[in-house]
Structure 1
Amino acid sequence: MRTLYPEIEPFDTGLLDVGEGQQIYWEISGNPAGKPALFLHGGPGGGTSPFNRQFFDPDAYRIVLLDQRGCGRSVPHVAEIDSPDGLATNTTDRLIADIEAVRTHLGIERWLVFGGSWGSTLALAYAQQHPTRVTELVLRGVFLLRRKEIDWYYNGGAGNVFPELWEHFVAPVPIGERDGDFVESYHRLLYDADLEVRIAAAVAWSTWEGATSSLLPRPERIAETADPRFALAFARIENHYFRHGGFLAEGQLLRNIAAMAHIPGVIVQGRYDIVCPATSAWELHKAWPGSQLDIVDDAGHASNEPGIVDRLITATDTFRSETS
């Protein structure tokens, strides 16, 4: 099985001012003359990690990572904002505009786009708005951001698989609100006047995903998602997007597939993905003529599970010699 490429460091980094008080962190690693590839992180609000560079052959690719608005090394960081108004300019269309601003700034004409979980959502939305800028798509753990997907994960469906972890997730929500929409309840908690209430809610939200993403438990991932600064940005941005349906019309990404139908792509999906169940990947594959679907039978949602890594790197290796 294929494993991650060796660790590498970026050879160029920067903060790009995109207006509205936002500066987007970007970095480039790999081969300066290689095929451009963009990595889109999940969440939204997750930020990039150094190992994200390792999904690409560094001799073949010019690897671009960016941190989406409000998280990672982009500024301002949402953990430092105490009002929902601070996220008013954080929308899917603006993220797409930020991607285009970074592409233009770096002088890239077209690039392979790689995204997992929310990154797959954003990659699809970007490709549908700017199909001439995308050479190929590599997607993992497909999330189409439909209401049924949000309800499955945040309103009880996934709790049937992880009842003990679900109990931790619902614990910050007052008992009288537990028959309602947990996304709405968490919105209030994440901006509570009491800092301890905000942090407790953010950590419960963030560790719910950290604990349920892998096929087998990974305590180190739970610890990472429990970091208060990470958790507050992650929870607030996710909650903001999910309350607004990702700023997409219901079912939009499937309805608009014709705009990108010609783009070749690989979908890698864990069979036992509880965060983003395989039905969304299946529906996307059936609607998208240019796609190949690889279901990994011994994997969940996480990008670093062995079978997922193998299929993702097989995909990027396959596309590395294609002209851009």
Structure 2
Amino acid sequence: MDRREILLRKAYPPIEPYNSGMLDVGNGHEIYWELCGNPAGKPAIFLHGGPGAGCTEDHRRLFDPDRYRVLLFDQRGCGRSTPRASLESNTTWHIVDDIETLRMKFEVDRWLVLGGSWGSTLALAYAQTYPERVSELILRGIFTGRRSELLWLYQDGASWLFPDKWQDFLAPIPEEERGDLITAYHKRLTSADEEVALTAARAWSLWEGETVRLMPDKKLSELHGSDEFALAIARIENHYFINKCFFKDAQILRDAYRIKSIPGAIIQGRYDVVTPARTAFDLHRAWPDAEFLLVDGAGHAYNEPGILHQTILATDRFADEST
């Protein structure tokens, strides 16, 4: 075994929540939440990716359970939240409000916010709205919702690296509609014809699932190809992306000055195809006080060895910081 592999930090052992439930956040939405770790520990919240993916039991393992009180929740329309795959009253700013509602419900003054991929976008939006409520920020696989980032993944860019997978992504869309693939997919993902919607959802979801890791992962591809997961992530992602994530272009980078006093870490895989390193570097320049960790030999996924190592080091480092 490579000596470097021995030194890499691993996730903490599996744990179960000590409390969980559903919260009515209005407009017909109920979101699933759970609390893990030490009830008297440092408050933290985990923001999952997608949008539309949901939390998993492995996300609990990113924090020392003896030192953290961690809240995880499934965002509107995904995971265990209801109604499943709903696009109604489902925007970035609804979820920012949900995070703040959860903070007040559990009587947290300030908390560490950890988010990866879309979760990094949401973490930045929340921190820029409520900087006084964020003790630290840990961000992985940076995505800010700029048009250039969307075009890279869904129009022309990543397709040059995965031409074989790209053909499968193009397959549900007629030639004449391929000049704007996000719009073409939106038409199908919101179709009243369930088979049309499901075919589009599988293709959309698999494109992400098969480009997210540096090396192929059969189990991840199977998850992304499953009907229930694919429909939620494809519908919600496409809904957000056709609406430019409900931001003005480059808004997140423009407003980075609002978080300049928050300690943070930016963790980015050098070979991330889903959210290329350029965006993380742009955030680093806009927020230079945050630690910038460019991980060689890693793609986009949170559980790739180098990414996981740096994430665990970051949560450990901040564990004893005053809130």
User: What TM-score comes out, normalization by structure 1 length?
Assistant: 0.96
Give the deviation of 1:64 after TM superposition: 0.6
**Partners of 2:83 and 2:16 in 1: CA distance:** 24
Aligned to 1:113: 113
**Partners of 2:90 and 2:189 in 1: CA distance:** 17
Within-5 A mapping of 1:24-35: 24-35=31-42
Query: Partner of 1:280: helix, strand, or coil?
Result: helix
**Partners of 2:221 and 2:88 in 1: CA distance:** 29
Aligned to 2:189: 190
**Partners of 2:73 and 2:164 in 1: CA distance:** 35
Give the deviation of 1:257 after TM superposition: 1.1
Give the deviation of 1:87 after TM superposition: 1.8
Give the deviation of 1:13 after TM superposition: 0.3
**Partners of 1:185 and 1:254 in 2: CA distance:** 28
Deviations 1:159-218 (A, max 9, x none): 10000000000101012212x110000001112232221111101000110000000010
Give the deviation of 1:77 after TM superposition: 0.8
Aligned to 1:83: none
Q: Indicate conservation of the 8 Å contact 1:41/1:119, yes or no.
A: yes
Within-5 A mapping of 1:277-288: 277-288=276-287
Aligned to 2:247: 248
Q: Indicate conservation of the 8 Å contact 1:4/1:309, yes or no.
A: yes
**Partners of 2:267 and 2:64 in 1: CA distance:** 18
Give the deviation of 1:31 after TM superposition: 0.4
Give the deviation of 1:259 after TM superposition: 1.0
**Partners of 1:220 and 1:193 in 2: CA distance:** 30
**Partners of 2:313 and 2:279 in 1: CA distance:** 22
Within-5 A mapping of 1:7-46: 7-46=14-53
Give the deviation of 1:290 after TM superposition: 2.5
Aligned residue identity for 2:192:
A
Within-5 A mapping of 1:1-324: 1-78=8-85, 86-178=86-178, 180-324=179-323
Number of aligned positions between the proteins: 316
**Partners of 1:300 and 1:313 in 2: CA distance:** 17
Q: Indicate conservation of the 8 Å contact 1:262/1:289, yes or no.
A: no
Aligned to 1:82: none
Deviations 1:250-281 (A, max 9, x none): 11111111111100100110000000000000
**Partners of 1:283 and 1:192 in 2: CA distance:** 37
Distance 1:185 1:257, change over 3 A: same
Query: Partner of 1:69: helix, strand, or coil?
Result: coil
**Partners of 2:200 and 2:135 in 1: CA distance:** 40
Deviations 1:19-50 (A, max 9, x none): 11111111001001000110000010010000
Aligned residue identity for 2:265:
V
Please give the root-mean-square deviation of Cα atoms over the aligned residues, in Å. Answer: 0.8
Q: Indicate conservation of the 8 Å contact 1:25/1:74, yes or no.
A: yes
Aligned to 2:3: none
**Partners of 2:109 and 2:190 in 1: CA distance:** 41
- Unaligned segments of structure 1, at least 5 residues: 79-85
Give the deviation of 1:124 after TM superposition: 0.2
Aligned residue identity for 1:127:
A
**Partners of 1:105 and 1:289 in 2: CA distance:** 33
Aligned residue identity for 2:27:
E
**Partners of 1:193 and 1:99 in 2: CA distance:** 32
**Partners of 1:166 and 1:115 in 2: CA distance:** 27
Give the deviation of 1:227 after TM superposition: 1.0
**Partners of 1:277 and 1:289 in 2: CA distance:** 19
Query: Partner of 1:294: helix, strand, or coil?
Result: strand
**Partners of 1:22 and 1:160 in 2: CA distance:** 39
Give the deviation of 1:88 after TM superposition: 3.4
Query: Partner of 2:231: helix, strand, or coil?
Result: helix
Aligned residue identity for 1:163:
P
**Partners of 2:99 and 2:113 in 1: CA distance:** 11
**Partners of 1:210 and 1:323 in 2: CA distance:** 38
User: What TM-score comes out, normalization by structure 2 length?
Assistant: 0.97
